[in-house]
Every structure is written in structure tokens, then in C-alpha cells.
Chains A and B, each alone.
Chain A
Amino acid sequence: MQKVAVNRDKTAFAELFDHYAPQIRAYSLAREPGADLVADDLTQDVMSRVWLKAGTYNADLANLNTWIFTLARNCRVDYLRRNSRHISNIDPSFIFDEMEDDNPGPFQLVNQTRAEDTVRTSLQKLPFEQSDVLTKIYLEGKTHQQTSIELKLPLGTVKSRVRLALKKLQVLVAR
């Protein structure tokens, strides 16, 4: 990543591409199965931002995987807005982009890497009904309400499953 940011090294960028492009495509396909062109477009958008914003990436604030996730999320929400039949006048870049450019406050320097390791191992142990709800919300981009209709569950049940999952994963436990 250093090589990309400082030396503008295209070989290093190609390595990042090899690693992340399949993930970004998978993320796009999770929301729109079969839409290969959309997945390619999203990959290009995200990797362009990686190239352009490499200098602003701050390893103290988020690990690289998390940074790429936030870029992919931001590009996807932006793409959906541009291509939606229901026009929203709200520009999501004011909501999401600004967040990452924030300087870390003194107590934001959490041990992200360790926290992520814990989440990874405990994700495997999560009951399906809880991980399923997380998948719908994070990967398929569904609201709680859409999730409740799709799974034929009361809205309250969806919310409590998310809450339970977060608790089990200890995502929000201060370390």
C-alpha cells in the first residue's frame, strides 16, 4: 500500500487489484446477482478511488480491508443513487465520504486489528439465523423492514437478532 501511495507503483497496485477485485465483485453480486457489468463498474470505481486516495489512507485508523470495505460501500450507495428510479436529493458522499476523512480523536485509536480477529473467529460460531440477518443488511443492502418481509419475521425479531449478533461478536465491546 505504501508503494502505491508514495511511489505510485503500478505493479503494487496490480497486486492490490488481484487481491481485492474478486471481493468487490462478490460484494456487488451479493446485492444484484447476475449483474456482471455492474460488478465490473463497481470494481473500477472502487479501485480508482484506491489509486487516488491511497495517500489519505491511515493505517492507524482502519486496517486495509476495512478501508476497502468502506470505499466499496460508498461507491455502491453512490451508484444506486445515480441509477435509482426514485430520485433522492440527498448526496450520500456528504454522509459517508466525510467520515473517513476525519482525523482520529485521541480515543479513537482503538486496536482495530485485534478487534477484527475476534470478530472473524466468532463470526464462524454465530447461529445461522443471526449471520443471515447480518448478510442481508450488510451485503445485500436491505433495510430491517425489507429483511423482515423477506424472512417473514416481525420487525422486532430482525432488530433483536442484529442486536444479539453484535453482542456475541463483541463488535462494540471496548478493548
Chain B
Amino acid sequence: MEKILTHPVDELLASFSAASLPLSQALCISSHLERCAACHQKVQRLNGLGSELMQQLKPSPASSELKERMINRLDILTQETHARPQETHVSSVPRCLQQFIQTGYDKLPWRRVSPDIHNYELCRDSNGAKVELLRIKAGGSPTTHTHMGDEYTVILEGSFSDETGLYHQGDFLVRDARHKHTPVASQDRECICLAVTEGPIQFTGFFSRLLNPFVRRSYT
């Protein structure tokens, strides 16, 4: 396997470790981490930082009633121990993507975008970001494009190059609206990427998300 050259920056890994990233972006980071031991280790250290920060909070004592309820539930919990969902064995697909891809890339209902490129939309995030797979045939190139918002890309299979360099499996890239780029898949094999694009809808989602802390939610 080629060496991974491009990684998420540290402050992005910190947000991942804090789970304060939109889930679509976290999905990209996670796909990268599964291939990158160095970043995986960084995240483990960052989790340690999270734990320190949590311990510095002023403790908020739990009621004795909550404790009693908890202890009484333990036996029920043990009985209910749910079997782990069966392991799927699609080794080439990152595990975090197996919630969308159960049978490998070839069986997906790919949609033709241009002669060189197919896409398959996995889902939309709550902020409107589009999460999709792009499949570029060997030597193929989508037309030059710019983005409305940031685009996160992780290479899952194959490699591609653009004006800035040559990227391989596991490489993680962020492109923003200022970038105009022309990716070209390598000649010898097709390239499959995970791409997350923030759409304009993001803003409505974003502002209303700001309201979330003020909306008290509870189970009652």
C-alpha cells in the first residue's frame, strides 16, 4: 500500500475526538483513521484530553434514587445483553461505511454522471451535506469544478491526481470553494472516493442548530 500523504489537521482530529463535527465529516475522518495508524493514535491521545477536560468540570451529584434505579436494572441489563450485530466481511469497505454498503462496491446502484464518472449517494447529513461515493474510471476525469462549500474527500480505492499532487488510498483531502480542481484517476485502475459536500442548505441547518442549546429536551 502506498504511504498516506495527506491527513486531517490536528484541530479537525480534536473536533472528531470531541464528537463535535457534523456526522458526515466524522464519517470521512473515520474512513481515514481505519487506514492511518498515526492519526488513530493521535485521536486516542485527544480522547485523553477530553477525559481531562471532563474531570475538570464541577461534579454534579447524582440523586440516590438514580443510583438505586441503576443498580436495580443491572440484572435486567445482563439478561437483555443483545447479541452484537453479525460481523460483515467486506474487507475493502471501511467499517464505518458498512452501514450503507453491505455487499461491496460493485453491487451498488451507481448512477452515471458523465462518461468517466459514476456516483452513488449514501445519504444526507442533518446539515444538508451530501455524502456520496464517486467512481472515476481509469484515466478518467470529471470536468473542472468548484464547490459551494467545503468538500471532504477520502480515497477508498485506487488513486488520483490533480493540480496539487498524486493521492492514494487512505488520503484525506479538504477542498474549499476557492479551489478549482481537475482530478484525474490514475491510468491503471479506477478510483473510488468518499466525498462529502456541504450544500447551501447547510446554513439553514446551521443557524437552527444554534438554537438547539436553548431548546430544552427531555424524555418527559
Contact = CB atoms under 8 A, between A and B. Distances in A.
Interface of A: 8, 10, 13-14, 17-18, 21-23, 25-27, 29-35, 37-41, 43-44, 47-48, 51-52, 61-63, 65-66, 68-70, 72-74, 76-77, 81, 83-92, 94-96, 98-99, 102, 105, 107-108, 110, 112, 115-116, 119-120, 123, 134-135, 137-146, 149, 159, 162-163, 166, 169, 171-172
Contacts of A166: 10-11, 14, 46, 49
Contacts of B66: 21, 40, 43-44
B218 to A, nearest CB: 4
- If over half of A's interface residues share one DSSP class (helix, strand or loop), that class is named, otherwise mixed; here it is helix
B197 to A, nearest CB: 15
B41 A107 contact: yes
B26 A69 contact: no
Nearest to A160: B11
A11 B40 CA distance: 35
21 contacts: A31-B213, A38-B218, A40-B63, A70-B51, A84-B126, A86-B127, A86-B208, A88-B23, A90-B99, A90-B131, A94-B95, A95-B23, A98-B96, A105-B40, A108-B40, A134-B49, A137-B14, A137-B15, A137-B18, A138-B20, A162-B11
Interface of B: 9-11, 14-15, 17-24, 26-27, 30, 33, 37, 40-63, 66-67, 69-71, 73-74, 77-78, 81, 95-99, 123-127, 131, 205-206, 208-210, 212-213, 216-220
A146 B212 CA distance: 12
- If over half of B's interface residues share one DSSP class (helix, strand or loop), that class is named, otherwise mixed; here it is helix
A137 B77 contact: no
Contacts of A77: 19, 23
A96 B185 CA distance: 31
